[in-house]
Amino acid sequence: MKKILLLLGILFFTSGINSQENQTRYTNPMMWADVPDLSVTRNGDDYYLISTTMHLMPGAPIMKSKDLAHWEIVSYVFDTLNDNSKYDLLNGTVYGRGQWASSIRFHKGKYYVMFSPNDQPFRSYLYSTTNPEGKWELVSRMPHFHDNSLFFDDDGKVYVYYGTGELRELREDLSDVKEGGVNMKIFERDASETGLLEGSQAIKYNGKYYLLMISWPQNGKRRQLCYRADKITGPYEKKVILEDNFAGFPYVGQGCIIDDKYGNWYGLIFQDRDAVGRVPLLMPVRWENGWPMLGDKDGKVPDEGITPFPTYDTGRRLVESDDFSSDTLKLNWQWNHNPINPAWSLTERPGYLRLKTARVVNNLYLAPNTISQRMEGPKCSGTIALVISHMNEGDIAGFAAFNGHSAILEIHKEKDQSYLAFATNVVDLSEELKEVLNVNAKETERVTIDKDLIYLRIDADFNLGKDIATFFYSYDNINWKSIGEPFKMRFDYKRLFMGTRFALFNYATSSTGGYIDIDYFSYTKEK
């Protein structure tokens, strides 16, 4: 009887896995927004993902899912970085630098994150926590490991893969590198790998070591590679596991693979989608002759798919509206570089975000306390309600489609009169310090403002071949007038190296002391 009951239980459980109510359907991209450099770990039913946000604070966003298709932001690894004054927009900037490609791992009851800012001093950060939705603690600083993959082996040894085929052994307490431990180059690029090779993410499967990397062969197509070995020190053999230009956008590459409790494997790989940024795609992994082949049976990224989990949807989204009724900021918001905390408030006027001027600067790229959220495809729209009655002479506030190439709705306070202007900005940054050398600013339209409350709106279209932002203003949030011309948004890795974002700002060009109050940010997205 016990055997019969056990068999019935197994049959019921198996049928439950395959039943429609215990499946999640998804379409690619699973997030049509800038979520690059994917690294994922699993603990039971819980998946945690980390991505790159470079110069934005707080940084190293941690996202949670139970179905691999729906993700919510649950924490950040750090609030600020303070290695040098450039993180404060002083003596240079960290645009396109800061926190780069990271790795997240669950090991013996703890979660670990490792990343190496692509900026001086060239050293890595290692954080840990027992609760990835709570506070992360700094464990150690070690040498710089570009695009690292932290790896805990079965024998208790700890390693980091990094660079182009570099391997370094760490102390088991993770306090530093291990003196006398493994420190070697595990493979050399073959003749076909004549371009960039990076983005390490490592796993162990059936006793073998697997290292995923992105390949940029000169005069070839971007592709995902896998290196495989029986021993961690090699020798390694190579195979191309994905080469596909999904949905007409460029070729897909860089990410990771992860299993589920049923033994299935999945790939999370990003794709460059121009101005919106680098978007994550979800796909099955087919183990063929011991290789993790990505995509469907034809090696293509699927338009849609199914994961064998109940749908995980908490109602939280990657980008969200905010009425600023809480005394803490939603996790969706990030500051451009480290914020000046005394210069913003959610409590001085409850229900509003107050942004005060705190430093005299002459352009948006040096303005402290610019706050932003991602934009999303295929189309999205953001609206802010802005109270401008306490702006000072020379202050500039407003709403921007912010990137290295920006289009901006600017409120100017000049000689007791307020104006709304449409302007474009292109920033020129120095190579070493990322100093703002010049901002090519062009104002193409200006109107007089005769009210203290104004509504500003930006609509964005990221469909293939579009990347267009359009701009509007209103005094009643009902009747809208267009301003400026449609703006072609761009992704430029030599400047900010991220997708275009909605940005709210207020800065002083003459003297500090003024402020604006933002009543709300309203967001809609086309499905």
Gap between the Cα atoms of 116 and 97, Å rounded:
10
Q: 72: domain CATH number?
A: 2.115.10.20
Which contacts of 169-175 are long-range, i.e. CB under 8 A and separated by 24 or more positions?
A: 170/142, 174/112, 174/126, 174/128, 174/139, 174/140, 175/139, 175/140
Please report whether residue 11 resides in a domain: no
Q: Kindly state whether residues 275 and 345 are assigned to the same domain.
A: no
- Whole-model pTM? 0.94
pLDDT at 20: 66
Average pLDDT of the residues of the chain: 95
Q: Kindly state whether residues 338 and 303 are assigned to the same domain.
A: no
Q: Would you say residue 4 has pLDDT above 60?
A: no
Q: Which of 117, 165, 108, 111 is nearest to 141 (CA)?
A: 117
Please report whether residue 410 resides in a domain: yes
Show the domain range for 342: 334-525
Q: Would you say residue 1 has pLDDT above 70?
A: no
The confidence band for 5, taking pLDDT boundaries of 50, 70 and 90, is: very low
pLDDT at 219: 86
pLDDT at 19: 58
Q: Kindly state whether residues 358 and 288 are assigned to the same domain.
A: no
How many other β-carbons are positioned within 10 Å of the β-carbon of residue 297? Answer: 9
Residue 509, H or E segment: none
Residue that is last in its domain, among 260, 291, 307: 307
Please report whether residue 430 resides in a domain: yes
Tokens of 50: 């980390």
The confidence band for 18, taking pLDDT boundaries of 50, 70 and 90, is: low
* Mean pLDDT value of segment 430-445: 96
Q: Kindly state whether residues 235 and 356 are assigned to the same domain.
A: no
Q: Would you say residue 339 has pLDDT above 90?
A: yes
* Mean pLDDT value of segment 283-302: 97
Please report whether residue 325 resides in a domain: no
Q: Kindly state whether residues 208 and 295 are assigned to the same domain.
A: yes
What would the pLDDT profile of 413-428 be if each residue is shown by its tens digit? 998 899 999 999 999 9
5-9, 249-253, 437-441, range with the lowest pLDDT: 5-9
- Is the N-terminal amide bond of 61 cis, ω within 30° of 0? no
- Rg (alpha carbons) of the chain, rounded to whole number: 24
* Mean pLDDT value of segment 429-438: 96
Whether residue 359 contacts residue 512, with contact meaning beta carbons closer than 8 Å, is answered with yes
What would the pLDDT profile of 360-402 be if each residue is shown by its tens digit? 999 999 999 999 999 999 999 999 999 999 999 999 999 999 9
The confidence band for 194, taking pLDDT boundaries of 50, 70 and 90, is: confident
Q: Kindly state whether residues 112 and 200 are assigned to the same domain.
A: yes
Please report whether residue 324 resides in a domain: no
User: 494 vs 97, 420, 432, 442, CA distance in Å?
Assistant: 10, 30, 12, 21
**Rounded to 5°, angle at Cα 294 from 288 and 299:** 85
Q: Would you say residue 16 has pLDDT above 90?
A: no
Q: Would you say residue 10 has pLDDT above 50?
A: no
* Mean pLDDT value of segment 102-120: 96
Q: Kindly state whether residues 87 and 30 are assigned to the same domain.
A: yes
The residues that bridge with 39 in the sheet, in sequence order, are 50
Q: Which of 487, 74, 117 is nearest to 337 (CA)?
A: 117
Q: Kindly state whether residues 300 and 339 are assigned to the same domain.
A: no
Q: Kindly state whether residues 270 and 348 are assigned to the same domain.
A: no
Residue that is last in its domain, among 292, 307, 322: 307
Q: Kindly state whether residues 263 and 367 are assigned to the same domain.
A: no
Q: Kindly state whether residues 377 and 275 are assigned to the same domain.
A: no
Positive/negative CA dihedral, 356, 360, 364, 367: negative
What would the pLDDT profile of 29-60 be if each residue is shown by its tens digit? 999 999 999 999 999 999 999 999 999 999 99
User: 320 vs 109, 232, 317, 380, 451, CA distance in Å?
Assistant: 32, 43, 6, 11, 28
Q: Would you say residue 154 has pLDDT above 90?
A: yes
Please report whether residue 316 resides in a domain: no
Q: Which of 513, 522, 462, 523 is nearest to 487 (CA)?
A: 462
Q: Kindly state whether residues 81 and 209 are assigned to the same domain.
A: yes
Q: 416: domain CATH number?
A: 2.60.120.200
Please report whether residue 323 resides in a domain: no
Whether residue 400 contacts residue 409, with contact meaning beta carbons closer than 8 Å, is answered with yes
Which segments of 32-182 are extended strands (E)? 39-43, 46-50, 56-57, 59-65, 72-78, 102-107, 110-115, 123-129, 137-143, 149-152, 158-162, 166-170
What would the pLDDT profile of 202-236 be if each residue is shown by its tens digit? 999 999 999 999 998 988 899 999 999 999 999 99
The residues that bridge with 47 in the sheet, in sequence order, are 42, 65
Please report whether residue 1 resides in a domain: no
Whether residue 14 contacts residue 7, with contact meaning beta carbons closer than 8 Å, is answered with no
Q: In total, how many domains does the chain have?
A: 2
DSSP line for 379-429: EEEEEEEEE-TTPPTTEEEEEEEESSEEEEEEEEEETTEEEEEEEEEEEEE
- The secondary structure of residue 99, as a DSSP letter, is B
pLDDT above 90 covers what percent of the chain?
Answer: 93
* Mean pLDDT value of segment 496-505: 98
What would the pLDDT profile of 229-256 be if each residue is shown by its tens digit? 999 999 999 999 999 999 999 999 999 9
* Region label for 242, one of left (φ > 0), alpha (ψ between -120 and 50) or beta (otherwise): beta
pLDDT above 70 covers what percent of the chain?
Answer: 96
* Mean pLDDT value of segment 471-493: 97
Q: Would you say residue 515 has pLDDT above 90?
A: yes
